[in-house]
Structure formats: C-alpha cells, structure tokens
C-alpha cells in the first residue's frame, strides 16, 4: 500500500500456542516453543520496518492457573529467551523493557531480566515491551497505590490526580499509547491487556494461530490499520 501509515506503538496478544499444538497431537509446550520462535522473527521484522514501540503479551497474571508442567515449560522458555537476548537482540539496537510484577519469578529468571534491562537501556532503536506476569487491572491497582502513597507523603494533592497522573504511574510511563493491537487466533477478547492504554487503539483480530503467524500476516494487519480513519471521538 502506498503512503502507508505505520503505528508508532504496536501491541500483539500472542495467542493460540496451545491450540496449535493440540491440532498436531503435540504437548502444549511444543506450541509455546513454536510461538517463541515466531516471536523472535516478528520482533526483528518490526524493528526493521520502523515500528518504534512493540508490546507483546507473553504471560498474564491469569496464566498461573494453567497446569504446573506447562508453567514450568514457559519459565524455561523465558530463561532461554533472556539468555539469547543478551547476545542476539541486543546486537540489533533494541531496548527491552518488562511490564508486570516480575518479583514473583525465581531468582535466576529475575537476574536475567535485570541483566537484559540494564544492558539494553542505552539502546536507541525500537523499544520492546515484554508483558510478564502482567494484567491490566493489576497495573491500574498498582498505579492507584502509587498515587495514594504520593498523596500520603505530601508529594501530590488529590486535586492533581488526572489522566496524566495515572499514565505516569503505569508500566508504560513515558511511552505513547498503542495505536494498533493485533490478536491472532480469532478470539475476540481484550484479555486484560493494556486496559488503560488501549482506550483508542485499533484492533485487528486474525483467524490464525500465533505459531503460524508470519511477517506477511503482520503486513496484512498493518495495511488494514493504515486504511482506517482514526477519529478519537471526533468526526
């Protein structure tokens, strides 16, 4: 598409790993491994085409309800990804941030997360937000606690609490709100993802499972986004 407008901030709900594995008679962990490989490909592609901010939903606060073996497999994948990120993705000038309460993870994973954040913080390319143990409602509750603490300690007057004050206390503080959120797998749900930030985001739901998602599918979603007229409540 000529004169295509890219979203400045793109969000992706990476959904469908389990169903992809079930269709093939494989364990769910195989679907997550396949999805992790797609994630790496899409991150590099987004960086190459000029996306400035990419936020991916990797593990929600509700995902702890899954079977223990599946959670262990996911944690192993996260550790492997962090290890790889210390060499491969950081060489691509990508800055990596994490959304969510990562203090609940085991010490080794927490240490890897801290290393990735520290070693990528001076990068000037695309910002990659990885949502781990993240939930939109939990994020808003955290912002409320921070506001309450600031009021209690005299740093903030209650009358100063506005939308900007709330945004400044979210995990995405300082970043633009997402322009486009893509959800593969055909499910038509927000799933507690960026509830505050996505107030005016465009959504594209695609009937394709995440492990089958390719750059051409991303391009199709980007073309659809570019063809839309965003009114933000206006005409």
What residues are annotated to the active site? 15, 63
d(CA 142, CA 148): 10
d(CA 226, CA 182): 13
- Cα 149–Cα 154–Cα 160 angle in degrees, nearest 5: 85
Other beta carbons within 10 angstroms of residue 217's beta carbon come to 18
Among 149, 50, 61, residue whose Cα is nearest residue 94: 50
Annotate 138-161 with DSSP letters as a single string: HHHHHHHHHHHHHHHTTS--GGG-
Question: Two tokens at 112?
Answer: 């890897």
Question: Two tokens at 107?
Answer: 């010490």
**Count, residues in the chain:** 235
């Amino acid at each position: 598409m000529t004169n295509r407008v890219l979203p400045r901030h793109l969000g992706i709900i990476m959904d469908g790993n389990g169903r992809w594995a079930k269709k093939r008679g494989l364990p769910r962990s195989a679907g997550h491994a396949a999805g992790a490989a797609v994630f790496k490909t899409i991150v590099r592609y987004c960086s190459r085409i000029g996306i400035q901010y990419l936020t991916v939903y990797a593990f929600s606060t509700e995902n702890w309800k899954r079977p223990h073996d599946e959670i262990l497999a996911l944690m192993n994948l996260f550790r492997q990804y962090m290890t790889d990120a210390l060499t491969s993705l950081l060489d691509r000038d990508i800055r990596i941030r994490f959304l969510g309460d990562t203090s609940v993870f085991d010490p080794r994973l927490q240490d890897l997360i801290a290393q990735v954040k520290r070693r990528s913080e001076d990068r000037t390319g695309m910002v990659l937000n990885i949502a781990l143990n993240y939930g939109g409602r939990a994020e808003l509750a955290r912002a409320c606690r921070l506001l309450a603490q600031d009021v209690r300690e005299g740093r903030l007057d209650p009358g100063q609490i506005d939308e900007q004050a709330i945004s400044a206390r979210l995990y995405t503080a300082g970043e633009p709100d997402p322009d486009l959120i893509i959800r593969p797998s055909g499910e038509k749900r927000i799933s507690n993802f960026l509830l505050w930030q996505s107030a005016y985001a465009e959504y594209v739901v695609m009937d394709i499972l995440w492990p089958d998602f390719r750059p051409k599918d991303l391009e199709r979603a980007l073309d659809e986004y570019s063809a839309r007229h965003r009114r933000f409540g206006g005409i």
